[in-house]
Amino acid sequence: MKRLITLCAAAGLFLTCASASWADVIFSDNFDAENGGGFALNYDAFAQWSLVDPTVDLIGNGDYDWYPGHGLYVDMDGSSLDAGKITSMRIPADPGLYTLKFSLAGCYWDPAKYGHEALDMVTVEVNGSTAGSLTAGNVLFSETYSLPWDQGFTAYSVDFSVPDTSSHLTVSFEGFAKDGGDNIGMLVDDVAIAAVPAPGAVLLGSIGVSLVGWLRRRRML
């Protein structure tokens, strides 16, 4: 009996650790590997993204680095007075609940000094599609964010559901600026999507941890 309880406790503890981790990440990109680690204006050679509308800049890592320590990141208003949009590769995904994480920052240019608009915007969207479809399909999440020019990188986390009608995802970031753009916009970094553990696994894990604690108090382990 003691051995059985110990095995159940260990199994529950394992499930908790697995549930709490980000082992089920299905997509991630911090842009640091792009362009050999160096900046590029009007960049259009992303490894995991397609440039849908011109233009965006790849900046940071010591060049046009408004927020040191963040490696490379994407300026959504490229150097052509035309804000851009990037869309990820198609990401296989089973039906269920997922979490999208990303970081946004203001443009860093003081409008009082450079004539830059005080507020930029970016629309974040997740779309679902079937395996044989070339179109985006269902909009699973869409929201427009705006930040003041001096707002540093801020992490966001949103949940969305993938229905049975979808088997692939895409995530996109689209910059918006007054009169099309002024060559500096909101900044994007650290994008990731992960599956959310099923409630049953979390419950079993919690029971396992509680059981381990009780057994230790009873000095049965």
**Rounded distance, CA 143 to CA 108, Å?**
22
The confidence score (pLDDT) of residue 177 equals 74
The confidence score (pLDDT) of residue 202 equals 41
Amino acid at 44: D
Gyration radius (Cα) of the chain, Å: 22
Q: Is the peptide bond before 170 cis (omega within 30 degrees of 0)?
A: no
**Helix or strand (DSSP H, E) at 27:** strand 25-29
The confidence score (pLDDT) of residue 112 equals 82
**CATH 2.60.120.200 residue ranges for the chain:** 25-196
How would you write the pLDDT of the chain (221 residues) with one tens digit per residue? 555 444 444 444 444 444 445 459 999 999 999 999 999 999 999 999 999 888 999 999 999 999 999 999 999 999 988 899 999 999 999 999 999 999 999 999 888 887 776 678 999 999 998 866 655 579 999 999 999 999 999 999 999 999 998 899 999 999 987 666 678 899 999 999 999 987 644 434 444 444 445 445 555 45
Letter string b/e over residues 57-76, b meaning 16 or more CB atoms within 10 A of that residue's CB: bbbbbeebbbbeebbbbbbb
Tokens of 198: 């099923």
Angle at CA of residue 78, ends 74 and 83, nearest 5°: 100
The confidence score (pLDDT) of residue 219 equals 55
The confidence score (pLDDT) of residue 135 equals 59
Angle at CA of residue 146, ends 162 and 151, nearest 5°: 115
Interacting residues of 2 by C-beta distance below 8 A, sequence separation 6+: 220
**Rounded distance, CA 187 to CA 106, Å?**
6
Cβ 97 vs Cβ 119: under 8 Å: no
25-196 maps to CATH 2.60.120.200: yes
Cβ 166 vs Cβ 137: under 8 Å: yes
Cβ 27 vs Cβ 195: under 8 Å: no
The confidence score (pLDDT) of residue 118 equals 65
- In terms of DSSP bridges, do strands 187-195 and 168-176 run parallel, antiparallel, or are they unpaired? unpaired
The confidence score (pLDDT) of residue 65 equals 96
**Rounded distance, CA 62 to CA 44, Å?**
20
